[in-house]
Amino acid sequence: MERSIGGVIAALVIAGAVFGYKFYNKSEVATEALARAQQTCAECSMYKDNSDYIEGLCIMYHEDAFDHNYSIGGRRRSGRFDADAYYAELLENMAAHAERDGRKDIADSLIALEHKVVDGK
């Protein structure tokens, strides 16, 4: 009986370590994605005069966009991040927020940036 309990405990420890590593990896990818997104937002034509506003939008919408476009993987599959879908969602949400704030100029600039980044146009 002790042997089977020890085996169960060992299996739980190993499963916990694997699960913890997957979440650690997700956190690392999320941090890297936010840093890249902030660099990308600096390419927005309206960034120079509106950097604080645009950075704030980027931070505000990053987490949801990242969570929607990152798959943690499974037992035999590593995590997967769809960068194009992430940028599309992030920049569209940022543009929609700017539009609601009456900043059509920034919204248009963010949509243009989305086309450049995602579509290569």
pLDDT in 10s for each residue of the chain, 121 residues = 455 765 555 555 554 445 454 444 678 889 999 999 999 999 999 999 999 999 999 999 999 999 999 987 655 666 788 999 999 999 999 999 999 999 999 999 999 999 999 888 6
Instruction: Give the separation between CA 78 and CA 14, rounded to whole angstroms.
Output: 17
For tokens 């600039």, the residue is 109
Instruction: Give the separation between CA 57 and CA 12, rounded to whole angstroms.
Output: 40
Question: What is the model's pLDDT at position 119?
Answer: 85
Angle at 96 between CA 26 and CA 107, to 5 degrees: 105
Question: What is the model's pLDDT at position 120?
Answer: 80
CA nearest 46: which of 114, 115, 113? 113
Question: What is the model's pLDDT at position 22?
Answer: 47
Tally the domains of the chain: 1
Q: Which domain holds residue 99?
A: 2-119
Question: What is the model's pLDDT at position 96?
Answer: 98
Question: What b/e string do you get for 17-32 counting C-beta neighbours within 10 Å, with b at 16 or more?
Answer: eeeeeeeeebeeebee
CA nearest 97: which of 88, 79, 87, 110? 110
pTM, 2 dp: 0.78
